[in-house]
Structure 1
């Protein structure tokens, strides 16, 4: 019965997006120019974060790359530079608010300008059943996938509001809208990220801050190695297997 209810909700969503995208084929939405913008991407050392960095620079933006893994972060910067883009790397633990605030100030000092687009992309998952999962790993998932959004937004939103110009992007997940087995920590953190983002968007509207925009992204399960312990229902996986990172990027 639960599966049938989930399937019904999923089919309604699919129909909605098919209709919406069919309309967009005729009435193309106005794309936002990002030439000259300074984009900060968390979790830039691999997966979607690396793709984001490359795509933003293709369209004329400069990127600030934050990741806790300096070697992977440097590799992303190398790929950006090879394509003629500008990238600046910082080794940051986004779960540590003092580290976030310190590096935010360092970025302003080093580059002499403020971040105009913030992409909260960093994400982790324990990948174990709840009763088998160490408490520290579950806490880590909540800190990276949810708490870090508070620290980064608090670090950069004041300048965006002062200039009435900016954009905050939250990379959540379809598992922040629907749940599956063996990733309780991830589902809880992404549900929280969705709630945080939607509340923030309403706050900006209430404050009449018209120049700061928000975008919530909820991709399907992406095969980046994070979800090795995730158990998708067999009947769902037959129709919707996990996406590759490149497939997730190319989806409308």
Structure 2
């Protein structure tokens, strides 16, 4: 049997024809109509929102924004001092807040913290997987083995462990929202941040697979547990990262990024970028011939500048030494 022939070919032809001739035009039309209609944003008042990587940057910004909306905030971070500072800032808004030191690459710590959160604050309504190691290195640098392991452990495995720990309680309550702070690096490979990029591509795939598993598990459960994947452009949160970036477009101010991310979460968008136009733009570029993709990459350049040691490795491979 040819590998091009599907099982139940007659049924397949009918289903695929119906999909493209009826469902696709109707779906596009309905999507256009919805764009013109006001989007209802859900209330998070009184809900428990757990944010990883809350000690600084985007995590802190999201904690403060959701606190002002009346949510109960749970701050998780390995940086205890910064995490406690975020919690104090949230407390000053009048919101209920709790702070826990946690290394999300350690499953036992996640399990212990989750039990404490349920007992002290309540079951988690919204999980925001924000914690990540954001750093670059050239692909062939032999001294970066540990950094690669750390990036994968936190950025990818950490999200596995967080989701697997908390989703069962959401299934029991038939309510919940898993938010993934991914990156535009998940749709375009940026020179100098291969490890970070790999984790973001993997995270997007993991969330899509997880969502499909929930669909197969139970339609009621899958419709009750929302997933949102957010792919921001570089956000201005860390001066050390900013000075190593060579980008055609400037970094996004953290206040702008936080506001757009919160809006997307409240609207329960499934996947979007910040700014909103960048995700569809990069998906379109993927359909262009390879030579045009290279030209586009040079026009809209993004690069993580190598340090002196990495530059020596580059020079050696380029035959300059």
TM-score bracket for this pair, using the shorter chain length: 0.7 to 0.9
Q: Give the match for residue 56 of structure 1.
A: 66
- 8 Å contact from structure 1 (residues 117, 166) kept in 2: yes
Q: Give the match for residue 227 of structure 1.
A: 241
CA drift at 1:28: 1.6
Distance 1:104 1:153 in 2: 11
Out of 140, 147, 164, the position equivalent to 1:137 is 147
Q: Does the alignment pair 1:186 with 2:186?
A: no
Distance 1:91 1:157 in 2: 21
Moved more, 158-167 or 133-142: 133-142
Q: What do residues 174-227 of structure 1 show as CA deviations (whole Å, max 9, x unaligned)?
A: 001112111011100111111111111122222221211111111111122263
Q: Give the match for residue 10 of structure 1.
A: none
Matches within 5 A, 1:7-156: 24=35, 26-111=36-121, 113-132=122-141, 133-156=143-166
* Residue correspondences, number: 226
Distance 1:78 1:193 in 2: 31
Q: What do residues 81-113 of structure 1 show as CA deviations (whole Å, max 9, x unaligned)?
A: 1111111000000011111111111212223x2
Q: Does the alignment pair 1:164 with 2:202?
A: no
Segments of 4+ moved more than 6 angstroms: 20-23
Greater radius of gyration (CA): 2
Q: Give the match for residue 4 of structure 1.
A: none
Closer/same/farther in 2, CA of residues 103 and 134 from structure 1, 3 Å limit: same
> What secondary structure, in the 3-state scheme, does the structure 2 residue paired with 1:160 have?
helix
Out of 190, 199, 208, the position equivalent to 1:198 is 208
Distance 1:114 1:224 in 2: 30
Distance 2:162 2:76 in 1: 11
Unaligned runs of 5+ in 1: 1-19
Closer/same/farther in 2, CA of residues 23 and 223 from structure 1, 3 Å limit: same
Distance 2:171 2:34 in 1: 33
CA drift at 1:161: 0.3
CA drift at 1:66: 0.3
Unaligned runs of 5+ in 2: 1-30, 261-275, 277-321
Closer/same/farther in 2, CA of residues 179 and 35 from structure 1, 3 Å limit: same
